[in-house]
C-alpha cells in the first residue's frame, strides 16, 4: 500500500517522539515494587474504601476538635473558615465527601444551647446562695445589734450615775473655793494713768527741737549739780530718732527719777537707782568684786539701806545693747528685762551674791537669797528696731517705780524720746 506524499510530508514536520523521563510518584501508590509485586497488579477494591474511611475519621476528629474549641472563644473575636479545612482534608486524602449543612448547623448549635442552659443554671444557683447568705447575715447582725443595744443601755445608766456624781462634786468644789478668803495684794499694780502719756505742748516741742539744733552742739544746755553731770547739745542729740542713748543722759534721767520719788514719796515706790558704771565695777574682767562698790551705798551717802527699798534698779550695758536687772525686795525676786528677750543668769547670780554681802556688811543680816526667785521677764514690751534698747530700759524703770504695768510699745518711743529730752532740759521728771 503506497503512502500519500502529502501526508508524509506533513508528518515529517513534527519532531520525533521521545520517551518521557521517569519521575517518582508524589501521590499515594497502589502497589509496592520493593517486595516483588507486579507493577501491573490491580489494586484491591477494599484498599480504596479503607483509606477513604481513614481520612474520613481524621476529618471527623478535626471537625469535632474545632467545634469543641468554640466553647473557649468569644463570638466576636475570630471566625474559622470550615470550607478551607474541608478542602485541605479532601486534597490530602484525595477523597471527596459531601457534608450535610443542616447536620453541621445542628452540631454547632447544640453546644451553645447547652452552654446557655448551664450559665442560667449557674446564675440561679449563685442567686440562691447569695440570698441564703444575706438571710444568715441579717439574722446574725440583728442579734449583734440587740446585744449592742442592751450593753449601751446598761452603760447609759452607769454614765448617768457618774455624771450626777461629777456634777455634785464640781458644785461642792466651787462652794469650797468661794468660801476661801481671796488673797489681798498689798501692792497692786495700778491701772495705766494718763500722766505718763501727757502730750507735749507746741512750745515744749519747739524748745526740744531747738536744743537738738547743730548750733548747740558744743553748748552746755544744763548741769545737774548733785551728780555733776553736764548735758551739751551733742550729748542730748542721742535722744533724736534712730540714735543710741549714752551714759550721761541715762544717768541724769535716773537721778531725776530719784528726785521725783523724794518729792512725792507716797506717790512712788521706794527705789534705788544705780548708775551705768555700777555693774562694771561689781563684775569686771577679773570677776566678782564686792570691795569695788562697798562705798557706793553707805548710810551717810544714801540715807537708807538697800534692803529697805522696794526695788533696786541696775542698768546693764552689753557693748551695743542696754538691758535691766532688778532686785525686787518686796517680792523677793531677781528680775532680768531685755527688750530683745535675752537671758543672762550670770548677772542675776552676781546680784544675788551682792545683796547677801551688802546686807551682811551694812546691816549685819544674813539673807538666804537661795530661796529667792530668778525671773527672766518675757511678757514685756519689745523693741522692733536696732536703736531703741536704751529708751526701753529707761521706761521699764520709770513704770516700775510708779508701780505701773509695762503698758507701752514700740510706737510710743518717738514720744518718749521727746518727753525725756524735755524733762532733762527742765531737770525735772514728771
Question: Mind telling me the catalytic residues?
Answer: 321, 338, 389
The span from the CA of 277 to the CA of 270, in Å, is 21
The answer to whether residues 240 and 217 touch, using CB atoms and an 8 Å cutoff, is: no
C-alpha dist (Å) from residue 419 to 251, 383, 426:
16, 18, 11
Torsion angle, alpha carbons of 36, 41, 46, 51, to 10: 70
What are the b/e assignments for 305-322, b being 16+ CB within 10 Å?
Answer: bbeebbbbbbbbbeeebb
Residues 6+ apart with CB under 8 A from 196: 398, 399, 402, 404, 408
Which strand ranges, in their side-by-side order, compose the sheet holding 322-328?
271-273, 311-317, 322-328, 333-337, 373-376
Quick one: CA dihedral 298, 304, 310, 314, positive or negative?
Answer: negative
Q: Which three cell numbers stand for residue 289?
A: 568684786
Q: How many other CB atoms are found less than 10 A from the CB of residue 25?
A: 7
The torsion angles phi and psi of 333, rounded to 5 degrees, stand at -135, 155
Q: Which three cell numbers stand for residue 359?
A: 546686807
20: helix, coil or strand?
Answer: coil
Q: Is 228 exposed, middle or buried (0-12, 13-18, 19+ CB in 10 A)?
A: exposed
315: helix, coil or strand?
Answer: strand
The span from the CA of 296 to the CA of 284, in Å, is 16
The torsion angles phi and psi of 280, rounded to 5 degrees, stand at -65, -30
Radius of gyration, CA atoms only, the chain: 61
Amino acid at each position: 500500500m503506497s503512502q500519500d506524499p502529502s501526508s508524509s510530508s506533513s508528518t515529517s514536520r513534527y519532531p520525533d517522539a521521545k520517551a518521557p523521563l521517569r519521575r517518582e510518584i508524589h501521590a499515594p501508590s497502589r502497589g509496592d515494587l520493593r517486595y516483588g509485586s507486579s507493577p501491573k497488579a490491580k489494586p484491591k477494591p477494599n484498599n480504596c474504601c479503607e483509606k477513604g474511611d481513614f481520612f474520613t475519621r481524621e476529618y471527623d476528629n478535626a471537625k469535632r476538635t474545632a467545634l469543641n474549641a468554640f466553647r473557649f472563644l468569644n463570638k466576636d473575636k475570630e471566625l474559622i473558615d470550615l470550607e478551607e479545612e474541608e478542602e485541605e482534608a479532601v486534597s490530602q486524602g484525595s477523597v471527596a465527601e459531601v457534608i450535610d449543612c443542616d447536620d453541621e448547623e445542628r452540631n454547632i448549635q447544640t453546644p451553645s444551647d447547652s452552654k446557655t442552659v448551664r450559665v442560667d443554671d449557674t446564675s440561679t444557683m449563685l442567686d440562691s446562695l447569695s440570698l441564703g447568705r444575706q438571710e444568715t447575715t441579717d439574722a446574725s447582725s440583728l442579734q449583734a445589734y440587740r446585744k449592742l443595744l442592751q450593753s449601751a443601755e446598761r452603760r447609759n445608766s452607769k454614765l448617768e450615775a457618774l455624771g450626777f456624781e461629777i456634777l455634785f462634786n464640781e458644785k461642792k468644789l466651787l462652794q469650797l473655793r468661794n468660801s476661801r478668803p481671796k488673797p489681798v495684794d498689798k501692792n497692786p499694780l495700778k491701772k495705766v494713768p494718763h500722766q505718763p502719756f501727757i502730750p507735749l505742748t507746741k512750745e515744749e516741742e519747739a524748745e526740744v527741737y531747738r536744743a537738738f539744733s547743730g548750733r548747740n552742739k558744743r553748748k552746755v544746755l544744763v548741769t545737774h549739780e548733785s551728780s555733776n553731770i553736764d548735758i551739751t547739745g551733742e550729748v542730748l542729740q542721742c535722744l533724736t530718732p534712730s540714735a543710741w542713748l549714752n551714759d550721761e543722759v541715762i544717768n541724769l534721767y535716773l537721778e531725776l527719777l530719784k528726785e521725783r520719788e523724794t518729792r512725792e514719796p507716797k506717790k512712788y515706790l521706794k527705789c534705788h537707782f544705780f548708775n551705768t558704771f555700777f555693774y562694771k565695777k561689781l563684775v569686771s574682767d577679773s570677776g566678782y568684786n564686792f570691795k569695788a562698790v562697798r562705798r557706793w551705798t553707805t548710810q551717810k551717802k544714801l540715807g537708807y539701806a538697800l534692803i529697805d527699798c522696794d526695788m533696786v534698779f541696775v542698768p546693764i550695758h552689753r557693748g551695743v545693747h542696754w538691758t535691766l536687772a532688778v532686785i525686787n525686795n518686796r517680792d523677793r525676786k531677781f528680775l532680768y528685762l531685755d527688750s530683745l528677750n535675752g537671758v543672762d543668769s550670770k548677772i542675776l547670780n552676781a546680784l544675788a551674791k551682792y545683796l547677801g554681802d551688802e546686807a551682811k556688811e551694812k546691816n549685819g543680816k544674813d539673807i538666804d537669797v537661795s530661796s529667792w526667785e530668778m525671773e527672766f521677764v518675757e511678757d514685756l514690751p519689745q523693741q522692733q528696731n536696732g536703736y531703741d534698747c536704751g529708751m526701753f530700759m529707761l521706761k521699764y524703770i520709770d513704770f516700775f517705780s510708779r508701780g505701773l504695768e509695762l503698758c507701752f510699745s514700740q510706737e510710743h518711743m518717738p514720744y518718749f524720746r521727746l518727753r525725756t529730752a524735755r524733762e532733762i532740759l527742765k531737770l525735772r521728771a514728771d
